[in-house]
Chain A
Amino acid sequence: MTKGKVISKTVYKDDKPVKNRKWIFSRKQLCIPYGLFLFMFVIFPLLLIVFYAFTDETGKISFYNFIDFFTNPTSITNLFMSIGLAGITTVCCLLIGYPVAYILSKMKQRVAGVIVMLFVLPMWINFVLRAMAMKELLTLIGMFGKNNFLNTVIGMVYDYLPFMIMPLYTTLIKRDRSLEEAAADLGSNRRQVFTKVIFPLSLPGVLSGINMVFLPTMSCYVVSDTFGNGKVTIIGKLIEEQFGVAANWNYGSALALIMLVIMFVTMLLTGGFKPQENMRGANL
């Protein structure tokens, strides 16, 4: 105990700020630009699309755009064409991409890195140019114009294969090899090791690859225009027409909204919204 006379006392208040400033600059303020950006370029356009979709040319609320779409056999055909094309492209990409990614994951990392690079390299060349080149190739071997749907699939697969290989490769390369040893130790032959351990554990990569291929191929009309010889019309093309030549923004917006719903459902089905630990890195 200190002995002595008390000269002065200072009381500290811990729970209340000493100065009561009205405005303090904090980390929260840093979010303002992003919030503005989000509103201006994501939320506002979306609201605009919803507004246009549910109104007619005069600005009155109407469901005519949707009724028109679902009663018109051509647009329904186009919708199924889109989904079918995207589905087949995705399956083809998966069938080609999985073995490639698997083989690459078994190779020495340095060699595999170079080969992965070679697979990704075409992505650096302009997309349209690549499509054109592939079209010329098909013309050269006499396939162009014979089966427009098949050609479109070929074009799509050619363009989107890297997007399937990359998430698969990153998932497979990270896998724990001791699990394969454990499976073999417990009596699995090579095939069973694959079906019971390697493949189930690579599912996050598979789903991520499906998302990366399926969603864009539904709307990527540049490829279907180039390879389809004018016979393959997908929903993306319809939207482009409505906003371009037809200048019917209301119908176009309704189409965009329908596509948004399809994509949303796909994401929901493939678990794209689930924030999973082991999905990290698989999502490019």
Chain B
Amino acid sequence: MAEVKRDDIINLVDLRKEFDDGFVAVDNINLYVRRGEFITFLGPSGCGKTTTLRMIAGFERPSSGKVLLNGEDISMLPPHKRPVNTVFQRYALFPHLNVKENVAFGLKLRKVEVTYEDENGDRFKRIEKLTREEIDAKVEKALKMVDLEGFESRSVSTLSGGQQQRVAIARAIVNEPEILLLDEPLGALDLKMRKDMQLELKEMHKKLGITFIYVTHDQEEALTMSDTVVVMKDGVIQQIGTPTDIYNEPKNTFVADFIGESNIFSGTALGGKKVRFIGNIFDCVDDFDKNEKVDVVVRPEDVYLVDEGLGQVNGKIISSIFKGIHYEMVLKVGKTEVVIQDTKERKVGEKASIIIRPEDIHLMHKEFSSNKYEGYITKKNTVCFGDGEFDCDVTTLYPNSILDEEGYLITENGEKIDLTDVDVEVEVGLKDIEISDNLEEGGASGQIVSIIYKGDHYQIIVRTEENEEDFVCDTEYTWNENDIVSVIIKPEDIKLKLKEEVKR
């Protein structure tokens, strides 16, 4: 069992939820929630954020793992015994009760221990329900908090969406829960109302001083309101941190992409706080191993546009859209597109240059399991990629297809396709690349730029001269750095995928 920190109110320990149909909604997550904080689970739909919330509320039982409240395991406790209250996505107000009765619902069920003193001065305790006066006073206070005084006897069906939302909040906070759970509570409101409610909820959190656990798919909402943001994807926590951390130092490309807009480039670290991407070497602040493959994240507002020749990389503006406060422009650098936000407009077709400051370049480890390239099919049904040309089996592009005598592809349905110049994505496994001294033998050739011993094999990077494409291969044989070699890949080891449906 994980050690419980003193100020933790909730601890999720190896929490997992697998539904009957085998779908794993939450996959072994570990998390602590500090007392009194505003924490937000953020992620796209189906990421497991709501399921996690429902396990804290008690509506779902975890398949394995524990939910600890103040250090005690409450995983199997039914919802009505938990000191938490929920504000539901669609409010879930009771239609047969009016506003006051809705808010008083929880209070009427509450039992309190009252201590009495009899004539002899002896004290005794009794379990009692709250009195009508107590309930009325609490309901009034809660309705005041959400600005709904005077709405007591209104039927909930006559209220607007925003008012219903307020009733739902009042109904939850009136019970003085230790934790308030909010399941996308603002999802059904319009933009203006949502902005107002965000601030009000934040204010309410300050006033009440209780823990708020909030679920949303809206990154802006999460950043605005929370003390801590938990980014989730596919039932796994991607990053936990303050809104500033999450925005400025995203841990991986998913977080970078999900939180705000980002340029994500693949690059290579050069060691000594230098990184190479979009055909240029940039200074950065992260120190990665030499030749390590990295993802480079740059926010559009961190790219500075300057006149051609004055910046680090030159390119051509291919799109420019006015977005209210700024222009969103796309600069094409070589084959890559860089999104830029700037208040000064540059016209489409104009040549420009960009500057990116070292502290605005965020490097992330890239999980490198195979070589990936963009390539195209030639007339001879070979494939060009990585500055080379390789034999391949183009029939793998379409299931059950065959090649006719003229080299056209005949699909399962008898359609005839000319594959010449079709763009493909090429994937080659690390172990499927063979290195040879004979430069004529392989499909591409280059210089060995790195040899790393990985315990039982060497990982070698061969870099081509022309476009500096890398072939990373695992081999048992040792080579020398700076050797000029060729790479051999068997046709069956080249995995091809169509970039888009070919025009018939």
Which residues in A have some Cβ–Cβ distance to B below 8 Å? 176, 178-179, 181-189, 192, 196-197, 200-201, 203, 278
- Do B94 and A184 touch across chains, with their CB atoms under 8 A apart? no
Give 8 closest A-B pairs by Cβ, nearest first: A186-B106, A182-B92, A178-B92, A187-B109, A184-B79, A185-B86, A187-B80, A200-B96
Q: Nearest chain B CB to A279's CB is how many angstroms away?
A: 13
Is B88 an interface residue when CB atoms closer than 8 A count as contact? yes
Residues of B within 8 A of A278 (CB): 95
Whole-angstrom CA separation of A203 from B96 in the bound complex: 10
- Residues of chain A within 8 A (CB-CB) of B458 are none
| Contact present for A187 and B92 (CB under 8 Å) | no
Nearest-CB distance from B170 to chain A (Å)?
Answer: 12
Q: Whole-angstrom distance from the CB of A177 to the nearest CB of chain B?
A: 9
B90 contacts A178, C-beta separation under 8 Å: yes
CB of B88 within 8 A of CB of A184, answer no
Number of A-B contacts (CB under 8 A): 60
What distance in Å separates the Cβ of A277 from its nearest Cβ neighbour in chain B?
A: 8
Query: What's the minimum C-beta distance from A172 to chain B, rounded to whole angstroms?
Result: 15
- Contact A188/B92 with A181-B59, A182-B86 known, Cβ cut-off 8 Å: no
Question: Is A181 a contact of B94 with CB atoms below 8 Å?
Answer: no
Give Cα distance in the complex from A186 to B94, angstroms. 12
The docked-state distance in angstroms from the alpha carbon of A189 to that of B90 is: 22
A181 touches B109 (CB 8 A): no
The residue of chain B having its C-beta at the shortest distance from the C-beta of A200 within the complex is B96
Q: Contact check, B96 vs A185: say whether CB atoms are below 8 A apart.
A: no
B86 CB, min distance to chain A CBs, angstroms: 5
On B, residues with C-beta under 8 Å from A are 57-59, 78-80, 84-86, 88, 90, 92-96, 105-106, 109-110, 171-172, 175
Among A176, A186, A196, A201, which residue has its beta carbon within 8 angstroms of that of B175? A186
Most chain A CB within a 10 A radius of its CB, from B90, B93, B94, B172: B94
Residues of chain A contacted by B171 (CB below 8 angstroms): 186
B96 touches A184 (CB 8 A): no
With both beta carbons as reference points, the residue of chain A lying nearest to B110 in the complex is identified as A187
Contact partners of B105 in chain A: CB under 8 A: 183, 186, 196
CB-based contact B88/A182 at 8 Å: yes
Nearest-neighbour CB distance to chain A for B353, whole angstroms, equals 55
Considering only CB atoms, which chain A residue lies closest to B84 in the complex?
A185
Question: Complex formed: what's the CA distance from A175 to B86 in Å?
Answer: 20
A178-B92, A185-B85, A186-B80 provided; 11 other pairs, C-beta below 8 A?
A179-B94, A181-B86, A181-B88, A181-B92, A185-B57, A185-B172, A186-B172, A186-B175, A187-B106, A188-B109, A203-B96
Chain A residues within an 8 Å CB radius of B96: 200-201, 203
Pick from B79, B95, B110, B172: contact of A181, CB below 8 A: B79
Contact check, B80 vs A189: say whether CB atoms are below 8 A apart. yes
Q: Which residues of A contact B85 (CB under 8 A)?
A: 185-186
Q: What's the least CB distance linking A274 to chain B, in Å?
A: 15
Q: Are B88 and A188 in contact (CB under 8 A)?
A: no
Please report the C-alpha to C-alpha distance between residue A278 and residue B96 in the assembled complex, in whole angstroms.
Answer: 11
The reply to whether B92 and A176 form a contact with Cβ atoms under 8 Å apart is: yes
Cβ 8 A contact of A182, one of B78, B94, B109, B110:
B94
B94 surroundings in chain A (CB, below 8 A): 179, 182-183, 197, 201
B92 engages A184 (CB within 8 Å): no
Complex CA–CA separation, A46 to B131 (angstroms): 56
- Which residues of the partner chain B approach A189 to less than 8 Å between Cβ atoms? 78, 80
Contact of A184 among B80, B90, B95 (CB under 8 A): B80
Q: Are A201 and B95 in contact (CB under 8 A)?
A: yes
CB-based nearest B residue for A176:
B92
Please list 16 pairs of residues, one from A and one from B, whose beta carbons are closer than 8 Å in the complex, sorted by A's number. Answer: A176-B92, A179-B94, A181-B88, A182-B92, A183-B94, A184-B59, A184-B78, A185-B57, A185-B80, A185-B172, A186-B105, A186-B106, A186-B109, A186-B175, A189-B80, A192-B80
| A196: chain B residues within 8 A (beta carbon) | 105
What's the Cα separation between A183 and B102 when bound, in Å?
10
- Write the chain A residue with the least CB distance to B175: A186
The smallest beta-carbon distance between B364 and chain A, in angstroms, is 39
CB of B35, distance to nearest CB on chain A (Å): 21
Given contacts A187-B175, A201-B95, is CB(A178)–CB(B88) below 8 Å? yes
Q: Which of A181, A185, A196 has the most CB of B within 10 A?
A: A185
A89 CB, min distance to chain B CBs, angstroms = 28
Min C-beta distance of B139 to chain A, whole Å: 13
A200: chain B residues at CB < 8 Å are 96
Residues in B with CB closer than 8 Å to A203 are 96
**CB closest residue in chain B, given A193:** B80
Tell me the minimal C-beta distance from B228 to chain A in angstroms: 23
Least Cβ distance of A146 to chain B in Å? Answer: 44
A197: which B residues are within 8 A, CB to CB? Answer: 94
> Across the interface, which residues of B come within 8 angstroms of A179, CB to CB?
92, 94
Report how far A136 CA is from B93 CA in the complex, Å: 52
> What residue of chain A has the Cβ atom nearest to residue B181's Cβ?
A185
Bound Cα distance A53, B110 (Å) = 60
What residues of A have a CB within 8 angstroms of the CB of B109 in the complex? 186-188, 192
Look across to chain B and name the residue whose beta carbon is closest to the beta carbon of A182: B92
Residues of A within 8 A of B78 (CB): 184, 189
Q: Which residues of the partner chain A approach B59 to less than 8 Å between Cβ atoms?
A: 181, 184-185
Q: In the assembled complex, how far is the CB of residue B451 from the closest CB belonging to chain A, in whole angstroms?
A: 60
Task: Report Cα–Cα, A186/B79, bound state, in Å.
Answer: 8
**Complex Cα distance A278/B80, Å?**
28
Give Cα A182 to B88, complex, Å. 8
Q: Which residues of A contact B110 (CB under 8 A)?
A: 187
Instruction: Give the CA-CA distance A186 to B84 in the complex, in Å.
Output: 8
Once the chains are docked, how many angstroms separate the CA of A197 from the CA of B95? 9
Alpha-carbon distance between A179 and B78 when the two chains are bound, in angstroms: 16
What residues of chain A lie closer than 8 Å to B90, measured between beta carbons? Answer: 178
How far, in whole Å, are A183 and B88 apart by their CA atoms in the complex?
11
- A110 CB → nearest B CB, Å: 15
Q: When chains A and B are docked, how far (Å) is the Cα of A185 from the Cα of B175? A: 11
Give A187's nearest chain B residue, CB to CB.
Answer: B109
Report the minimal beta-carbon distance from B263 to chain A, rounded to whole angstroms.
41
Measured between beta carbons, the chain B residues less than 8 angstroms from A201 are 94-96
Q: How far is the CA of A186 from the CA of B105 in the complex (A)?
A: 7
Q: Which residues of A contact B106 (CB under 8 A)?
A: 186-187
**Residue with the greatest number of chain B CB neighbours at <10 A, chosen from A179, A181, A186, A203:** A186
A109 shortest CB reach to chain B, Å: 15
Closest to B57 in A: A185
CA distance A160 to B96 in the complex (A): 29
